[in-house]
């Protein structure tokens, strides 16, 4: 116990002993954080990638912690170099029972190498085991699709270096790739017209009130025109009847598509557009043409390869609303990065998937 005189003196002379302690703690913490920033670097520091003329604000800033971080799915990728066939090499189709016809001309060593890699990439261990099922049929079509991408769409998949694609580009070890999509409209069956496809937060609209039909139209229809508005104040034609008339509804659907593009690649508008003239194709960045070509590529993939497989898939693999086939979009490959798998070369070890012709071994 303290003396009475001491207690009486404390009551007569109250002092806030916590204030100085808190102040010292705050100052000490600030000094500690400053020391970490100096020694370890600022975690919120950004790096801007210039996409247009200097001084126009056309740049894509990105936090270094994100820019320098490796795509976590890269660690799950496995690859092996091809076995260069000798002059007397035999065909896999001649020595392997029930060999997959598309790969039958490979040597047995390369056949097993490609099939085992595909099983790992898509997470299906029974692929091409002699049983003819829907997975075999789909895998066969996917091989053709991959060869087509590498052979005929190099101007998109190799625009920033030799990258190409293989099964892992989309699947990342899963039987069903992430970021596929199904038809969801109308999202409101109680109304008709334009109100039936918007003002509902869906994954197709990136949880906005924008139309959920953008991918259904712009990523499956060869003739669909992506436009925002007309520069003229009065344009001949009737909105909703004349297809070429740019309406506010088309504007909103275009915004929905552009929002999807941005989220798919982790970029902003000026990655492709000049912010002073969004409407002028003569003032866009080189990435604009890459994106335009990519949209046409995706339309072909959906129309020629994926939508027809709706007749092959079992019911549990079809869309939950309209039982439609799964389809791809930009995010299916990019998954939030400007370059899928950050530009990794996916065909260097796999010439069998780079062309519909005879593979070129080096």
**pLDDT, averaged in runs of 10, over the chain (362 residues):** 70 64 75 70 68 68 69 94 92 94 95 96 90 92 97 92 94 96 92 86 90 95 84 71 73 93 91 84 89 96 97 96 97 94 95 93 84
Cβ burial of 245 (10 Å; 0-12, 13-18, 19+) is middle
* Domain span at 195: 180-334
Tell whether 209 and 165 lie within a shared domain.
no
pTM for this model (two decimals): 0.82
Asked, for residue 356, whether it belongs to a domain, the answer is: yes
| Token pair 């975690």: residue | 43
Residue 56 confidence (pLDDT): 65
Are 113 and 208 found together in one domain?
Answer: no
Residue 170 maps to a domain? yes
16 inside domain = no
Same domain, 260 and 356: no
Q: Does 90 fall in a domain? A: yes
Tell me whether residue 100 is in a domain.
Answer: yes
Residue 33 lies in a domain: no
Contact indicator for 51, 66 with CB cutoff of 8 Å: no
Shared-domain flag, residues 290 and 145: no
Same domain for 196 and 146?
no
Both 154 and 233 in one domain: the answer is no
Q: Are residues 145 and 285 in the same domain?
A: no
pLDDT, residue 251, reads: 86
* Residues 218 and 140 reside in one and the same domain: no
Q: What is the pLDDT of residue 114?
A: 97
Indicate whether 195 and 277 sit together in one domain: yes
Specify the number of domains making up the chain.
2
**Would residue 13 count as lying in a domain?**
no
Q: For residue 233, what pLDDT is reported?
A: 74
Q: Is residue 26 part of a domain?
A: no
325 in the same domain as 194: yes
Supply the CATH number for residue 135's domain.
Answer: 1.10.468.10
Q: Same structural domain for residues 218 and 161?
A: no
If asked whether residues 254 and 294 sit together in one domain, one would say: yes
């Amino acid at each position: 116990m303290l003396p009475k005189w001491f207690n009486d003196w404390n009551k007569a002379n109250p002092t806030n002993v916590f204030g100085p302690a808190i102040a010292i703690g705050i100052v000490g913490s600030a000094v500690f954080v400053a020391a970490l920033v100096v020694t370890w670097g600022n975690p919120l520091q950004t790096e801007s990638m210039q996409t247009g003329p200097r001084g126009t604000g056309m740049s894509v800033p990105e936090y270094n912690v994100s820019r320098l971080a490796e795509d976590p799915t890269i660690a799950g990728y496995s690859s092996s170099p091809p076995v260069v066939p000798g002059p007397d090499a035999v065909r896999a189709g001649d020595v392997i029972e029930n060999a997959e016809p598309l790969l039958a001309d490979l040597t047995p060593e390369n056949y097993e190498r490609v099939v085992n890699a595909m099983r790992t990439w898509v997470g299906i261990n029974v692929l091409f085991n002699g049983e003819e099922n829907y997975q075999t049929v789909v895998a066969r079509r996917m091989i053709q699709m991959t060869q087509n991408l590498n052979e005929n769409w190099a101007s998109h998949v190799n625009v920033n270096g030799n990258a190409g694609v293989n099964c892992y580009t989309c699947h990342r070890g899963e039987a069903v790739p992430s970021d596929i999509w199904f038809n969801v409209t109308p999202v409101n069956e109680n109304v008709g017209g334009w109100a039936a496809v918007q003002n509902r937060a869906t994954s197709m609209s990136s949880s906005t009130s924008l139309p959920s039909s953008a991918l259904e139209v712009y990523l499956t229809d060869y003739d669909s025109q992506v436009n925002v508005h007309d520069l003229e104040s009065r344009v001949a034609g009737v909105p909703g009847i004349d297809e070429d008339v740019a309406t506010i509804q088309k504007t909103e659907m275009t915004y929905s598509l552009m929002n999807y593009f941005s989220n798919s690649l982790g970029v902003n508008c000026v990655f492709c557009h000049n912010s002073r003239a969004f409407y002028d194709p003569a003032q866009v960045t080189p990435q604009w043409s890459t994106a335009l070509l990519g949209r046409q590529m995706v339309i072909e993939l959906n129309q020629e390869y994926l939508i027809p497989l709706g007749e092959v898939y079992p019911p549990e693999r079809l869309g939950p609303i309209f039982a439609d086939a799964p389809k791809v979009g930009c995010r299916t490959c990019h998954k939030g990065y400007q370059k899928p798998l950050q530009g990794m070369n996916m065909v260097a070890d796999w010439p069998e998937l780079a062309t519909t012709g005879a593979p070129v071994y080096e």
